[in-house]
Structures are given as structure tokens and as C-alpha cells.
Amino acid sequence: MTLAGKHVAILGAGRSGRAAAALALRAGATVSAWDAASLDAFAGMPAGVEVHPNADEAQGREVVSDLLVVSPGIDTFGSYVAAFSKQTGEVIGEVELAARFYQGRIVGITGTNGKTTTTELIARIFSHVGLDGTACGNYGVPFAEVVLQSVQPAIVSLELSSFQLETIRHLHPTVSVWLNFAPDHMDRYPTVEAYRAAKLRIFENQTAEDTAVVRFGEDLPAIAAKVVTFSTINDAADWFSDGLVIRHHGEIVIDLDRDTSLRGLHNAENAMAALATGQALGITISAMREALQGYAPPPHRCELIRTLDGVEYLNDSKATNLHALESALRSQTRPVVLIAGGKEKGLDYSPVLPLLRDKAIAAVTFGQIARPLAGLFGSVIPCESVSTLADAVATARNLAPRGSTILLSPGTSSFDQFSGYEQRGNAFRDLVHQLF
């Protein structure tokens, strides 16, 4: 792709926008950056970029560009992007821009839940065998930053959100990974089908020479790539796990307790997706087993905080939607006292009730959604509604007998009381460590 002598307009002044601007500059373009935020938001923007703080839609309609690069945090189909698109040649995202300058192979990972852990596992496997498979995209560093390196890695482990996939055109994964799908981001998408359509774009540029690693039983359209499946439910899949061991075509290849620090069915799925990816690229099982040793899942994903009075405290603050909550519950082997709640996102939580009845002995809800959630959960198990996370921890402790697990798995976002799931998880960790 040549950008010499062309005008590239960058929409969004965050890290993704800065990386895209730097890449476009290096390619010889004239670059402008636009954001509705104040000038402070442009700190770190590369020298030579014309910056436009406090940019509104009226200004956008006047901008003439050859290429508009939209940051993933900005709604692709909203009126703001529409204004800046009025006089542009093409609209893409930072990931697509980077892909057009990248010379190596791409492993693309998407799914409603589990993307980050799987991206880390795949990058760890690549690193172990000397492929230097940098983790990037929606996790790690922006893809454009990787492409800007003096020596590009031969392969990347690229986490792809639905927001990033909306704006791809030519991005071509050698291996695509589809972990799962469940309704989410209904505050951005008009329908579940629109959200799913964005996710499915991960497959559209693959050919019969490529591989698609998918969860067994997912309702997917015809895929050109060779399909490899994994499951924790149906042993007819190519890769299967009961949460204790991982089998490939019936043969045990990984003992999760002995060979890894991964626990729970959801982590077994992430591990199988990573193993299937490595095998598709010719990496041996023994090398991948070595790579997984010592790996610890990222914080806020069923993270064991401590055991007190025979009760485990698990931090799953990353569970910001119903599917993540279901995955966390399904993976538990001890009776659960669930802590859930947060922002009202318009999700239907009734599908979790059978699993809640099976896995939990009680629940505590908190935050903006506390009362309606308690009314629903209370139809199948004892449930108390409180205001804050601190109240929830104290109440859950009184409800949890020895041998049980107190599981923070909110099932929604944190923005009613916290700046993000990380702050919420850290607060939970601090509260648990203060118990005596």
C-alpha cells in the first residue's frame, strides 16, 4: 500500500490513533488527527501530525481525505464517523491499516469471552519455540506499533474485538480463532445479529489454505478455511477436555493439574484453542506443553484471591456480560455464593437461572442493577440486594459455609461505581484481604 502524497485523517487521539498516525507518516502521508476531546488528549501524538481538538461533526463534513482511520472506541456507524466519511476515499481502522504494511503471518482471535487469555497463551507458545509471536491488537500493544518496529515479528497473536473487525477489508489470518459468542455491547449495536456479523468478519478473507479453530457446536456460516473444533461438552470435537485433562482425538496430551496452572472449563477451552492453533502451524504437542507450564491466567479472570475459614474467594471481575458469568459458574466444583451486579446494560439474565440453581447456594447483588437482578435470582436461590461491593463481600461471607466459594462474577460492566473492571476487581481483592 502506498500513502505517499495522500491525506490520511485519524479519528481518535488515543494510543491506537497515535500508532496509526505514526505508521501513516512513515508511509509518506500527510496526517491529521481529530478528536472531540481537548488538546490534552493529543499528548504523545507524533510530530508532524496536524491536530484538531474539540472536533465536531460540522468540521468533519468539511474534511477531505484519501483515507479515514477510525479508532475502535468510536462507533463506526455513528453520526460522528459519518460526518468525517462524507469526503473520504476509504474508511478503515488501525488494525486494517497495520495489516496492509505487515509482512508476517497473523493469528486472529475473537469471541465474546476468553480472548485475552487465549491471545496470551498463543503468544507464549510462539515465544517458546522462537517465533516471537507478539500479543497485540485489542490486547497488548496496537498492531500498528508492532508494524513500526525495525524488525517485524514473523507472526503475531492478534486479539480482535468486534469494533476492530467492523473496519477490516483485507486483513487475512492464517489461523482464525472463534472462541464463543453471546450477546454483548448492546449499547453499541442495534441488534445481536449486527454484533455477530461484525465478529464473523474474522473468517471472510480466509481460504482453503488457512485454518479456523472454532468451538464445537457454534452456529457458523460456511467457512472456506479448514475447521478444527474444541469442546468441553462433546467429545466428538477434535480437541476435548473435562476440565482435568485435554485430549486430542481421544488421546490425552495435557494434564491440566500437573502441566499447567489453568483451572476451570473456560480455561480448558482457551488452552485447547491455543493448542489447536499451534498444531495448525506445525508446533509439536511436547513443545506446547512446555510453553504452558507456569502460565498464570491474567488478573480478574477467576483469580483465586485467598482461602479464609475454608472458603475460597475468586475474582472474576472481567465477567462483564452474561456469557462470562455463565462460564465462571459452569467451571466451579464447590458450592457458590455469587456476587453479581453493576451497570444496567439491558441484558436478559434469565438464561442463567438453571445454571444458578445447579451451582449456587446463594447470591448477593449490588450496584445499579442490584434490585431487579435480586428479584430474578431470588426466584431460584436465596438472594440479598445491597448497594456497594463492600456490602456485598460482607454479606456473602455470612452466607458462605466452609467448603464453598465466594465468586465475584458481576455479569455486567462496572461503570456505575468504578472506572473499569480492573478497578472493581482490585477493590474486591483489597476487601477480601482486609477480612480476618
Q: Is the pLDDT of residue 183 over 70?
A: no
Q: What is the pLDDT of residues 312-347, one digit of tens each?
A: 999 999 999 888 899 889 888 789 999 999 999 888
The set of catalytic residues is: 115, 138, 185
> 493439574: which residue's cell?
257
Q: What is the largest distance, in Å, between two alpha-carbon atoms of the chain?
A: 69
Asked if residue 366 lies in contact with residue 386, where contact means CB atoms within 8 angstroms, the answer is yes
C-alpha–C-alpha distance, residues 63 and 11, integer Å: 11
Which has more confidence, 192 or 107? 107
Predicted local confidence at residue 40, as pLDDT: 95
Predicted local confidence at residue 186, as pLDDT: 58
Q: What is the pLDDT of residues 59-84, one digit of tens each?
A: 999 999 999 999 988 989 899 999 99
Predicted local confidence at residue 290, as pLDDT: 95
- Tell me the Cα Rg of the chain: 23
Q: What is the pLDDT of residues 198-234, one digit of tens each?
A: 999 999 999 999 999 999 999 899 999 999 999 999 9
- Quick one: pLDDT band at residue 184, thresholds 50, 70, 90? low
C-alpha–C-alpha distance, residues 336 and 69, integer Å: 46
Asked if residue 390 lies in contact with residue 410, where contact means CB atoms within 8 angstroms, the answer is no
Asked if residue 35 lies in contact with residue 11, where contact means CB atoms within 8 angstroms, the answer is yes
Query: Among residues of the chain, what percentage have pLDDT more than 90?
Result: 81
Asked if residue 25 lies in contact with residue 8, where contact means CB atoms within 8 angstroms, the answer is no
Which has more confidence, 13 or 334? 13
Average pLDDT over residues 79-105: 97
Q: Residue 349 has what DSSP assignment?
A: -
Helices (H), 67-114: 79-85, 94-99
Beta bridge partners of 407: 314, 338
Asked if residue 92 lies in contact with residue 167, where contact means CB atoms within 8 angstroms, the answer is yes
Which has more confidence, 383 or 295? 383
Q: What is the pLDDT of residues 339-378, one digit of tens each?
A: 999 999 888 899 999 999 999 999 999 999 999 999 999 9
Q: Is the pLDDT of residue 296 over 80?
A: no
Average pLDDT over residues 390-418: 96
Cell of 23: 505508521
C-alpha–C-alpha distance, residues 269 and 352, integer Å: 20
Of 355, 334, 264, 330, the closest CA to residue 303 belongs to 264
Q: Is the pLDDT of residue 246 over 70?
A: yes
C-alpha–C-alpha distance, residues 214 and 197, integer Å: 16
Of 286, 313, 322, 297, the closest CA to residue 125 belongs to 286
Query: Among residues of the chain, what percentage have pLDDT more than 70?
Result: 99
Compute the mean pLDDT over every residue in the chain, rounded to the nearest whole number.
94
Query: Please, which residues have CB within 8 angstroms of residue 4's CB and are 6 or more apart in sequence?
Result: 27, 28, 29
Average pLDDT over residues 283-303: 89
Q: For each of the domains in the chain, give its residue range(s) and CATH number, in order of start.
A: 7-89 (3.40.50.720), 97-292 (3.40.1190.10), 303-433 (3.90.190.20)
Q: Is the pLDDT of residue 385 over 90?
A: yes
pTM over 0.75: yes
Beta bridge partners of 247: 240, 252
Q: Is the pLDDT of residue 13 over 90?
A: yes
C-alpha–C-alpha distance, residues 82 and 85, integer Å: 5
Q: What is the pLDDT of residues 115-156, one digit of tens each?
A: 988 999 999 999 999 998 899 999 889 999 999 999 999 999
Average pLDDT over residues 274-285: 98
Q: What is the pLDDT of residues 29-66, one digit of tens each?
A: 999 999 999 999 999 999 999 999 999 999 999 999 99
